[in-house]
Structure 1
């Protein structure tokens, strides 16, 4: 609770500045969001930095608060529920537009996200993939951390921790980690690589997956967008079990898409990049949201709860409900009439 109060998510009256709740009512129920809260939610979905009108909360939404409220606010399309190949290809091809849109909205201090993305996935990736005995230096690891922090939530402490490692330790750990996914990456080899990279200070599961994805594009990066798509709503767990679940889910989805394609084009890493860049591009307006969502929703698979259930005719249900309501109204009217007759009969007896 104290952590929530420090972030401004809750105050003493247990009210949320993002949702605009004014506390519980005397009946104990939460009221509906106010107009201020609805505007906050719309700004969070759109990723806009426009200032909100004066209200009970401070302007702007902290990324941590948005994650606590629900990670599905970051999502515009549920990618895993569609098999539309055009949707997936459009999302995967939106990488440049998503990075440029995010770079234009970021703060101008230091290297831009566009430059960092080009260095990490351009010159650095090319050099690492062509080396006979690949490994990262401290400077390379610092560059990867800058890129990762610019893509997600900024944690300045991580950069200082990463750069505090010795160059010899970084080279040995990264060499062992990259060797584990050579020549073919599987879930077991990726887990061993993450464990080898985790000996470095400031390197967790997400950063280790970023390092591996630069060397091997088939390895998925543990991005917030992919976690929000796969994991439970409102919970982003940067743990090894969560990454295993992410890897298996993306691997299964890649197999489905490859079956539709008729050839092996999709990997877990490609599916993750499509989810990440497609979500960012939609959130920042780099893609046509209406056209994209209409294409995705035209081929949405039924959920597991809806599978195997017979479809009920809507008109029949509505007619049955209307008939039931009509019967209750007539019964109530008859009861009122009978009660009125009984009271009149009682009054007549008393007068007589």
Structure 2
């Protein structure tokens, strides 16, 4: 990845330009889910915080919507939606409320949650069926005044683009994720570093904005890769199937010999007729 778009070196001008591209990159059919995820659900949570004596929670219907948004933006795993549906309304409300109280009590506009705060909140939320660290981070990112980043594929791969993976080819946009708590805590540190670096330039960026920029960069890169693969397939189709060296060797040779003349046939017959006589003479000599 070039330094202009690299996580460690991107500047605010480039960041802002990419952020503006987000609406054009997201498929139009996902617009309604985006409005729910980025506007309506966070607004509902903020209203509850203000009206219910700091008791903020996410409802089961909202959790189901967040899961639907997550699956349409990333890898589709329908089983997760079924597991989410198995949670009771009271379990979702009580668990999200508990995590929110633990998390929001340690954060405000002037402080950053600690690794311990994140760990406690994520562990609490993952007690719900179908909720792993990634979905738990999505819930936290919808809370009022939160600094929690969503554990998305694009954000993690962008943040650790050049880091060495655990296997061959496990780098860049091909990096394999375990979606573990450890990976999320590492991602949180990277996001904090980016905020601080851009902050020294006199600007403030949010976790949601970083998430959107990562989505744009990731989808643009994915589109270029798909276009390149398509061009390659089209080129091969036009060129036609190429014979491998082994196939060429196995191909039958064309017969270019001229037919034998009558004289050649006679000479060959005479030679064959003499060979038995020569063999008999040789036998008698022995």
Structure 1 length-normalised TM: 0.52
List per-residue Cα deviations over 1:91-150 (Å, max 9, x = no partner): 223232222xx34xxxxxxxx311111122222211111213211221111111000000
Question: 2:16: which partner in 1?
Answer: 89
- How far 1:282 moved relative to its partner? 5.8
Please give the root-mean-square deviation of Cα atoms over the aligned residues, in Å. Answer: 2.4
- How far 1:89 moved relative to its partner? 1.1
Question: 1:210: which partner in 2?
Answer: 138
- How many residue pairs are counted as aligned between the two chains? 200
Question: 1:250: which partner in 2?
Answer: 191
Q: Is the aligned partner of 1:199 residue 2:127?
A: yes
Counterpart Cα distance in 2 of 1:122 and 1:267: 15
Counterpart Cα distance in 2 of 1:124 and 1:269: 14
List per-residue Cα deviations over 1:132-172 (Å, max 9, x = no partner): 32112211111110000000010000000001001111111
- How far 1:283 moved relative to its partner? 4.4
Of residues 138, 153, 160 in structure 2, which corresponds to 1:224? 153
Q: Give structure 1 stretches of 5+ with no counterpart.
A: 1-71, 104-111, 286-352
The aligned runs of 1:44-123 (5 Å cut-off) are 78-99=5-26, 102-103=27-28, 112-123=29-40
SS at match of 1:79: coil
Counterpart Cα distance in 1 of 2:136 and 2:216: 20
Counterpart Cα distance in 1 of 2:41 and 2:206: 21
CA contact (8 A) 2:57 2:94 kept: yes
Counterpart Cα distance in 1 of 2:83 and 2:75: 16
Of residues 54, 62, 82 in structure 2, which corresponds to 1:140? 62
Question: 1:124: which partner in 2?
Answer: 41
- How far 1:80 moved relative to its partner? 1.1
Counterpart Cα distance in 2 of 1:172 and 1:220: 22
- Per chain length, whose mean CA-contact separation is higher, i.e. which structure has more relative contact order (CA < 8 Å, sep 6+)? 1
SS at match of 1:131: helix
Q: Which has the larger radius of gyration?
A: 2
Question: 1:235: which partner in 2?
Answer: 176
Alignment CA distance shift 1:205-1:240 (3 Å)? same
Q: Is the aligned partner of 1:271 residue 2:188?
A: no
- How far 1:182 moved relative to its partner? 1.2
CA contact (8 A) 1:206 1:221 kept: yes
Counterpart Cα distance in 2 of 1:207 and 1:152: 12
The aligned runs of 1:296-307 (5 Å cut-off) are none
SS at match of 1:215: coil
- How far 1:280 moved relative to its partner? 2.6
Q: Give structure 2 stretches of 5+ with no counterpart.
A: 50-54, 166-170, 225-286
